[in-house]
Amino acid sequence: MTKGNPVTILLVEDDLAHAEIVRRNLAAFRVANRIVHVADGQAALDYLFHEGDHAGAAASPRPDLVLLDLRLPKVDGLEVLRRIKADAALRLLPVVVLTTSAAEQDLVQAYSNGAGSYLVKPVDFDKFTKLMEAFGFYWLAWNRFPD
C-alpha cells in the first residue's frame, strides 16, 4: 500500500482448496483480483515465459511476487524456481515458497536456488490465518519490490 501500484501475485498451487485458502486470506489486502492462479509447474513457466497457453506478453503481465508450492504436477516447484533465477529478466522476481513440506532438504534446496522466504502451511486454521495475515502485511504492505 506504500507502493503506488497494487501488487500482483502469481500463485502456483495444484491443490484447489489451498488456493482458495490463500485467496480468502489475502482478500483483506485487496489483491484478490490481482492473484493469478496456475495449477502446475509447466503452467507457471508458460505464464512467466509467455509460452504455451500464455503466449503473448499482454496476456500474462509480469507478477511482483511468486507464491510457489513445491510438489507440483509436470514440473516441480524447485525446477520452476531454478528457471526463474536462471533467467536474466526474471531473476530479481521474489519467490516465496508455500508448501506443506517441512523437509529439511526442501528448505535447503529452496534457499540454495534463490527462494526469498520459505513458509510451511500449518495444519491449523488459526495458525494458517495468522501466517497469511503476517505474510500479507510483510510482503504486500511493507516490502519494496524492484521495478
Partner 1 sequence: VRYAFAAIATVAAFLLRVGLARYLGPPYILFYPTVLLAALLGGLGPGILATALSAALAAFWILPAERQLPQMSLRESVSLAAFVVIGLLMSTVAHLYRQARDRVAQNERDLLSREALESARRREEEALRRYETLFDKAPFAIALTKMPEGTTVSVNAAFLGLFEYARDEVVGKTSVDLGISDAGARAEVAAELQRLGSVRDFECTRTTRSGAQRALSLSADRIVMGGQDFVLTSVQDITARRRAEAALRESEARLNTIVENISEGVAVSGLDGQLLHFNRAALDLHGFSTLEECRRHLLQFADLFELSDLDGTVLAVSQWPLSRVLRGESLRDVEVRVRRKQPAWQRTYSYGGTLVRDADGQPMMGVVTMRDVTERRRAEEELREKNDELVRFTYTVSHDLKSPLVTVRTFLGYLERDFGKGDEATLREDFGHIRTAADRMSRLLDELLELSRVGRKVNPTVQVPLQLVVGEALDLVAGRLSQRGVKVEVTREPVVLEGDRPRLVEVFQNLLDNSAKFMGDQVAPRIEVGVEMSGGEPVLFVRDNGIGIDPRHQQKLFGLFEKLEPGSDGTGIGLAQVRRIVQVHGGRIWAESEGRGHGTCFRFTLAGTSWERSQEASA
Interaction between residue 104 and partner 1 (CB under 8 A): no
Q: Smallest gap, in angstroms, from Cβ of residue 49 to partner 1?
A: 13
Chain mean position to CA 69: 7
With CB under 8 A as the contact rule, the residue among 101, 116, 136, 137 that binds partner 1 is 101
Interaction between residue 133 and partner 1 (CB under 8 A): no
With CB under 8 A as the contact rule, the residue among 58, 125, 144, 146 that binds partner 1 is 125
Q: Smallest gap, in angstroms, from Cβ of residue 10 to partner 1?
A: 15
CB 23 within 8 A of CB 30: no
Q: What are phi and psi of 35, to 5 degrees?
A: -100, 120
- Residue with grid cell 511493507, as numbered in its chain: 142
Interaction between residue 108 and partner 1 (CB under 8 A): no
Interaction between residue 109 and partner 1 (CB under 8 A): no
CB 70 within 8 A of CB 110: yes
Of the candidate spans 35-43, 55-63, 83-91, 108-116, the one that interacts with partner 1 by CB under 8 A turns out to be 35-43
Interaction between residue 75 and partner 1 (CB under 8 A): yes
Q: Smallest gap, in angstroms, from Cβ of residue 40 to partner 1?
A: 5
Question: Sign of torsion, CA 75 77 81 84?
Answer: positive
- CB atoms inside a 10 Å sphere around CB 24: 12
Q: Smallest gap, in angstroms, from Cβ of residue 76 to partner 1?
A: 8
Rounded CA gap, 99 and 107, in Å?
Answer: 10
